[in-house]
Structure 1
């Protein structure tokens, strides 16, 4: 079974990764426990693992897919399979009880989250304070991925609002259009100061998502 698994094996980095976890936020949920390389330093309350081959290595195990989490609160720690990243985050923003995530992600993905005007970038910057910690080379993992990775902390700062999610998804489809045109295409009729909207959606960096939303008469900002 190929599940995009790349397990962190560098002991010094594992200890550093675990040091970023806030042990006061419970339950502590690990996703993708594997053979327990991180687990043995973390002692999580719940481990979510899709690959049943690792069941002999792990306690408090739930066999489940991280894209459809069987938990609704707590803190998540994971060296997340890269191929599920988008689907995982699209669901996690809806779970207000998940207050913090300590994750190992593909470096290219987190660079896009910080710099590029995409739906997932706006979404994550709206719901979380994002802190990039360390860059990890491929040889810290087994099997080696073809890309560099990064340790990233996500601290929830807002509760889920479906209307915001839908608006950000729609606006992101029109990132080359002027703001006023994109907002009107997305059904936002209560737009402020149309005369100043010479900017295009792509001109707003992900960290400016509040400024983007403030162009509309909403209660979301």
Structure 2
């Protein structure tokens, strides 16, 4: 597949840019795994983001009912059209997935641009679908499934956990791509779900998670006090009043815990305890 991909790109005078995440998967076994992990049938409408030269698109079209292939590079769109000629179940769309309204789909299978993985993931989690198989930079993927107290545990982990079940399935070496990136990648399966714990105010939850992880090694009491104005930007409380409010609102076991040690559910409990002052 590498030879065919390189030849096609050379003939069209297309030079893929690593900085834009234009790394095409050229390892057939990796592509096959991504398709298998998606559990596709002819009833599925699959979204592929960053279809590139169509290596994954063609495999998806073999087993899915419909494939919606989105690509922002006009030159690559032309190659897609040629490589997928005759496949009536593929719809090719020129556009930026972050700025466009997407058609209806129920599954996603994509090799995502590493530089905008977070933005794309959170946009997708705001849509209605059942399953996604996504290629991420390995470090990003590890942050999605990190455990409390670990180096990779952070804001991303908690926010994703609240919205989806995530499985890290396979590590993928740079040699599986053309051009090869400087880092390894990983295949992740993501299933949106109802939140596993109740949050009364999701905006406040987002503020609390963001603010606390700015002080990840501090005690919760101190971290909340340092970020109080960020969590409650409209509050007129003095520092002393804010301290009293925090000490009164939260149980001691949470006040004395370190932010990095909190489970995602703890962030929900903290949020629900902090009614707007």
Structure having the higher strand fraction is: 1
- SS for the counterpart of 1:176 is coil
Q: 1:214 to 1:164 in 2, by over 3 A?
A: same
Aligned to 1:125: 161
Q: CA separation in 1, counterparts of 2:255 and 2:205?
A: 20
Matched, 1:49 2:71: yes
Give the length in aligned residue pairs: 214
Match of 1:7 in 2: 24
Show the counterpart of 1:198. Answer: 256
Match of 1:33 among 48, 51, 60: 51
Rounded Cα–Cα distance in structure 2 between residues aligned with 1:149 and 1:21: 18
More helix per residue: 2
Q: TM-score, normalised by structure 2?
A: 0.68
Runs (5+) with no aligned partner, structure 1 = none
Higher-Rg structure is 2
The answer to whether the Cα contact below 8 Å between 1:67 and 1:84 also exists between their aligned partners in 2 is: no
1:31–1:48 contact (8 Å) kept in structure 2: yes
RMSD over aligned Cα, in angstroms?
Answer: 2.6
What is the CA deviation profile of residues 84-141 of structure 1, one whole-angstrom value per residue up to 9, with x for unaligned ones?
1122223233x14133221011111112233323222211122111101111111111
**Structure 1 69/132 Cα, relative in aligned 2: closer, same or farther at 3 Å?**
farther
Instruction: State the 1:69 CA deviation.
Output: 4.5
Equivalent-residue separation in structure 1 for 2:180 and 2:140 (angstroms): 17
Conservation of the 8 A alpha-carbon contact between 1:103 and 1:152: yes
Looking at structure 2, the residues matched to 171 and 27 of structure 1 have their Cα atoms a distance apart, in angstroms, of: 39
Q: Contact 2:142 / 2:168 at 8 angstroms: preserved in 1?
A: no
One of 181, 186, 189 as aligned partner of 1:145? 181
